[in-house]
Amino acid sequence: MKKGFTLIELITVVIIIAIMAALALPQYTRFIERSQASTAKNALDMIRKAEATYFTLNSQYLPCTSNSGSNCNLTVEIPEVARVFNYTAGKDWEYAVTSVSPFNNYTATATRRKGVYTSSTITTTDTGVMNISGTANTTGKKIWE
């Protein structure tokens, strides 16, 4: 009598592994997207702190109308903000800060550029209110649900 596995046994194991992988993949994707959202929230918080520092020193927010940060000198107040605007490895998020005359408020926005939640946004204002909008382009679920 030969020892070994039959073709039926091997196919059964492969099917079970495929089912387990199919169940785990959406959870993994959600985990990755939540970690990316956390990165964007931290970056927006850093921008908020830089704007608060500038406001404390100048009694107004920094004049900005920039989608890349090149017109916003927040890096003068907090050099770490330069990493937010100059981050190019993968371009997971695109950041923008807008403040219009008389510069007594601002809006900072992070827009998702890749992944399941492409074109979703996280926005924060000078009051600290944070809004998250967008849905997954494949499932229609709310962002980072």
Stretch 64-78: mean pLDDT, rounded? 58
Residue 68: the pLDDT is: 47
Q: How confident is the model at residue 21 (pLDDT cuts 50, 70, 90)?
A: very high
Q: For residue range 125-145, what is the model confidence (pLDDT) as tens digits?
A: 888 888 888 766 555 565 555
Provide DSSP, the chain: ---S--HHHHHHHHHHHHHHHHHHHHHHHHHHHHHHHHHHHHHHHHHHHHHHHHHHHHSSPPPEEESSSTT-THHHH-TTHHHHHH--SS--EEEEEEE-TT-S--EEEEEE-SSTTTT-EEEEETT--EEEE-B-TTT-PBTT-
Please give the share of the chain, as a percent, with pLDDT higher than 90.
Answer: 12
